[in-house]
């Protein structure tokens, strides 16, 4: 897994904008964004090049917010994001197009985790010493306040957003800065519990178990039929005035070839 870029690395990246009109630039599409789709986009790169002749250069470590800044400054060409751009986030007009979704899951290092009720989640996140049914300490992992997963699950479960904010007051609760940090901590921490994208867990082959919620196991079928109600969308975001390569990538991501790859990695096309 790639380590996050430092502030210095980001500054160096932003100091070298793409050269418009350069033949190499015309054949290379630079993309960055959510770590929850990073492994998948790497697997898309080769078939995308075979279909279009365009090299996909994937820049890791920026995260969604950093990638949006780089896109606005013309340093990259597109962002794969778990949210749409925020108002005022960019200097230029951005276009966001949904292309896939994946279940948003609660994962743990527990070998055989018991299922949880969504109504119990606020109490678990606000409790000082929660435990799994077998008595193992349940160790929650938080994300930053701007993380899309935290925002989505906070909307979906009444009282959970407030419980997460309460948990931030505790010095013993780790806060993961990126999707990769999140699953790395969860794999190391005994009794862990955190939120992640199903597709990331599958694509990165993480040593984590997915926790049933309200008696429903999270998978693509239960998300499709609506019995599992937590879903995470992904958007391709690009600048409206320089969209040619990004439009080709979007078209490919929605193609039958890409859909087959994404399904194998735990992502469902938005048309479904």
Q: Which residues contact 230 (CB under 8 A, 6 or more apart)?
A: 103, 104, 105, 152, 153, 156, 213, 218, 223
| Rounded-to-integer distance, Cα 220 and Cα 105, Å | 11
Query: Where are the chain's structural domains?
Result: 7-101+233-269, 102-224
The full 3-state SS of 150-199, as one line of letters, equals: HHHHHHHCCCHHHHHHHHCCCCCCCEECCHHHHHHHHHHCCCEEEEEEHH
What pLDDT score does 179 carry?
A: 93
What pLDDT score does 27 carry?
A: 87
What pLDDT score does 10 carry?
A: 46
What pLDDT score does 13 carry?
A: 47
pTM of the model: 0.86
Domain 102-224 in CATH 3.40.50.12780: no
Residue bearing tokens 């870029």: 5
Q: What sign has the CA pseudo-torsion 127, 150, 41, 99?
A: positive
Q: What sign has the CA pseudo-torsion 44, 50, 54, 59?
A: positive
Which tokens in the block code for residue 213? 């919620």
Under a CB-based contact definition with an 8 Å cutoff, are residues 106 and 195 in contact? yes
* 89 three-state secondary structure: coil
Q: Do domains 7-101+233-269 and 102-224 have the same CATH topology?
A: yes
4: left (phi over 0), alpha (psi -120 to 50) or beta: beta
Q: How many residues does this entry show for the chain?
A: 272
Q: Across-strand partners of 268?
A: 101
| Rounded-to-integer distance, Cα 178 and Cα 186, Å | 12
Residue 213 per-residue DSSP state: B
Cβ-in-10-Å burial (0-12, 13-18, 19+) of 213 comes to buried
Under a CB-based contact definition with an 8 Å cutoff, are residues 174 and 141 in contact? yes
Query: pLDDT tens digits, residue range 3-48?
Result: 444 443 444 444 444 333 333 444 899 999 999 999 999 999 999 9
What pLDDT score does 40 carry?
A: 96
Query: Which architecture characterizes domain 7-101+233-269 according to CATH?
Result: 3-Layer(aba) Sandwich (3.40)
| Rounded-to-integer distance, Cα 233 and Cα 220, Å | 13
> Which residues, given as ranges, of the chain have pLDDT below 70?
1-26, 271-272
What pLDDT score does 25 carry?
A: 44
């Amino acid at each position: 897994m790639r380590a996050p870029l430092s502030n210095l690395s980001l500054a160096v990246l932003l100091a070298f904008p793409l050269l418009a009109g350069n033949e190499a630039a015309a054949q290379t599409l630079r993309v960055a964004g959510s770590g929850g789709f990073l492994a998948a986009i790497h697997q898309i790169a080769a078939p995308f090049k075979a279909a279009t002749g365009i090299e996909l250069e994937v820049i890791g470590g920026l995260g969604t917010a950093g990638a949006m800044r780089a896109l606005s400054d013309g340093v990259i060409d597109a962002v794969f994001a778990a949210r749409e751009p925020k108002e005022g986030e960019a200097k230029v007009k951005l276009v966001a197009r949904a292309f896939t979704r994946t279940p948003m899951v609660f994962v743990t290092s527990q070998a055989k985790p018991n299922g949880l009720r969504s109504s119990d989640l606020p109490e678990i996140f606000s409790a000082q010493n929660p435990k799994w049914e077998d008595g193992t300490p349940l160790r929650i992992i938080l994300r930053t306040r701007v993380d899309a997963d935290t925002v989505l699950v906070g909307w979906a479960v009444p009282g959970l957003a407030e419980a997460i904010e309460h948990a931030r007051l505790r010095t013993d609760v780790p806060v993961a800065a990126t999707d990769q940090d999140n699953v790395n901590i969860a794999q190391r921490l005994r009794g862990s519990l955190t939120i992640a994208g199903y597709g990331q867990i599958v694509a990165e082959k993480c040593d984590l178990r997915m926790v049933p919620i309200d008696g429903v196991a999270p998978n693509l079928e239960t998300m499709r039929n609506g019995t599992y109600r937590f879903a995470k969308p992904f958007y391709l975001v690009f600048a409206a005035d320089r969209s040619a390569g990004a439009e080709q990538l979007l078209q490919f991501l929605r193609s039958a070839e890409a859909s087959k790859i994404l399904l194998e990695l735990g992502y469902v096309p938005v048309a479904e």
